[in-house]
Amino acid sequence: MEVLDLSHNQLVGTVPSWISRLDHLCYLDLSNNTLVGEVPKSSEGLNTSGCSPDIDFTNMTFYLKRSGRSKHGRQRKHAPNVIAGTNNVVRSGSNNVIAGNDNTVIFGNDNAVSESYQFVYGNNHVVTGDHHVVSGSNHAASGSHHVVIGKHN
């Protein structure tokens, strides 16, 4: 299967882990549902050769959580969650790449945020686009009409 569109199905619960086992998935649309959890990464078994993976989220609330330790007790390095679309909310998310309009990041760190009308709270964000509200410290902001609160901005 290359295309999976589960949008507008009133799905509630966690993002299904079996999505990561779809070997040839190129497009995933989970928009307009109420799903929580981690979006499966392009991990073992996911073959993206011949296609550019595209995930579409619109009007979603994400509660992202990651375990920082492997089963052997070593610190893991994670690839970022990539979230694109409109009217998305990321709560307690860190290390996210967020693009689109009217997205909100609440209490996250190390996020890259682009496009317009974003609200970002946390630390170490890179923000591009227009009309952002940013609170925390160590932010790099480009564009226009930003409200930046905190230190080292």
Tell whether 37 and 86 lie within a shared domain.
no
Is residue 38 included in any domain, yes or no?
Answer: yes
- C-alpha to C-alpha distance for 28 and 142, rounded to whole angstroms: 30
Is residue 152 included in any domain, yes or no?
Answer: yes
Bigger pLDDT: 107 vs 137: 137
Domain span holding position 15: 1-59
Is residue 64 included in any domain, yes or no?
Answer: no
Tell whether 99 and 151 lie within a shared domain.
yes
Is residue 69 included in any domain, yes or no?
Answer: no
Is residue 50 included in any domain, yes or no?
Answer: yes
- Asked if 92 and 111 count as a contact pair (C-beta separation under 8 A), the reply is no
Tell whether 83 and 153 lie within a shared domain.
yes
Tell whether 50 and 94 lie within a shared domain.
no
List C-alpha distances in Å: 25 to 36, 44, 53, 115. 21, 13, 7, 26
Over the stretch 78-129, which tens digit does the pLDDT of each residue have? 555 666 666 666 666 666 667 677 767 666 777 777 776 666 767 776 777 7
List C-alpha distances in Å: 32 to 9, 25, 93, 103, 116. 7, 20, 19, 14, 20
Is residue 41 included in any domain, yes or no?
Answer: yes
Is residue 68 included in any domain, yes or no?
Answer: no
Question: Does the pLDDT of residue 65 top 60, yes or no?
Answer: no
pLDDT band at 66 (very low <50, low <70, confident <90, very high): very low
Is residue 66 included in any domain, yes or no?
Answer: no
pLDDT band at 45 (very low <50, low <70, confident <90, very high): very low
φ and ψ at residue 117, rounded to 5 degrees: 60, 60
Q: Which range has highest mean pLDDT (9-13, 71-75, 90-94, 134-138)?
A: 9-13
pLDDT band at 46 (very low <50, low <70, confident <90, very high): very low
Q: How much is the pLDDT for 49?
A: 44
> What is the share, in percent, of the chain residues with pLDDT greater than 90?
0
E strand residue ranges, the chain: 3-5, 12-14, 27-29, 34-36, 54-58, 61-63, 81-86, 89-91, 96-101, 104-109, 112-113, 119-123, 126-130, 133-137, 140-144, 147-151
Both tokens of residue 136? 């925390």
Tell whether 20 and 82 lie within a shared domain.
no
- C-alpha to C-alpha distance for 11 and 30, rounded to whole angstroms: 9
Tell whether 55 and 121 lie within a shared domain.
no
Tell whether 140 and 91 lie within a shared domain.
yes
pLDDT band at 44 (very low <50, low <70, confident <90, very high): very low
Our count of domains for the chain comes to 2
